[in-house]
Homo-oligomer: A and B are copies of this chain.
Amino acid sequence: MKDKYINALLKGTVNVLKTMASTNPKPGIPFTKGTKKTLGEVSGVIGFTGATLGAVVVSFSKACALKITSTMLMEDYTEINEEVKDAVGEITNMISGDARRNLEDIGMAFQAGIPTIIIGKGHEIKNKCNGPCYCFVIPFTCDGLEFFVEASFEC
C-alpha cells in the first residue's frame, strides 16, 4: 500500500510541475522520515480525509521556490513575497489534487483541506498519526535545486 501512495504522489508532483512550471523534476529514492533531515524554507501542508486520514507536505528550499515560481508566473522573483507563498500553496493544492485522482483510479477516494504555507529558514516538519502509518519522503531535484514531498497516511 505504501508504494501506491508513493506512486500517486510521485506521478502527481512530476505532472503538476511539468504542466505548471515547465520543469522536469527528477525524483530520487523515497526514504523513511527520520533517517534524514528535510529542512525547508517554504512549505505547503495539506490534510487528507476519506479512505484514511493523512497529510502531505511539499517543502522547498528558498532557491527552488523562487525558481519554480519565476518559471510558473513568468516573472523574476528574488524574495519570498506573497506571490511566491501563494504559488507554493497552489502547487501543493494541485499536487494533492493530482495524487487524489491517481488514488481514486485505484479505488481510494480522498478529500483534501486547504493548503497552509509555512515560511521560515530551516523549519522542521513532523506529521503525527494516531497509530500505525505509512510515512515517507520523496526527494526531488529540479534544475539542480532540491525539494521534498513528504506524506503520512494512517494504515
- Judging by beta carbons under 8 Å apart, are A90 and B128 in contact? yes
- Judging by beta carbons under 8 Å apart, are B128 and A49 in contact? no
Q: How many residues from A make CB contacts under 8 Å with B?
A: 39
Name the one of B89, B112, B123 contacting A49, with C-beta atoms under 8 angstroms: B112
Within 8 A of B (CB), among A94-147: 111-130, 133
Name the one of B93, B121, B154 contacting A130, with C-beta atoms under 8 angstroms: B93
Cβ-closest chain B residue relative to A85: B126
- Judging by beta carbons under 8 Å apart, are B114 and A53 in contact? yes
* A-side interface mostly: strand
Stretch in A23-31, A40-48, A60-68, A69-77 with 4+ CB within 8 Å of B: A40-48
Cβ-closest chain B residue relative to A150: B116
Cβ-closest chain B residue relative to A92: B128
With contacts A46-B47, A47-B48, A48-B47 taken as known, whether A125 is within 8 angstroms of B116 at the C-beta atoms is yes
CA distance A85 to B12 in the complex (A): 29
A-B contact pairs, 7 of them (CB 8 A): A45-B118, A47-B113, A49-B111, A55-B116, A57-B116, A117-B125, A120-B123
Listed in ascending order, the chain A residues whose CB lies under 8 Å from chain B are 43, 45-50, 53-55, 57, 85-86, 89-90, 93, 111-130, 133, 152, 154
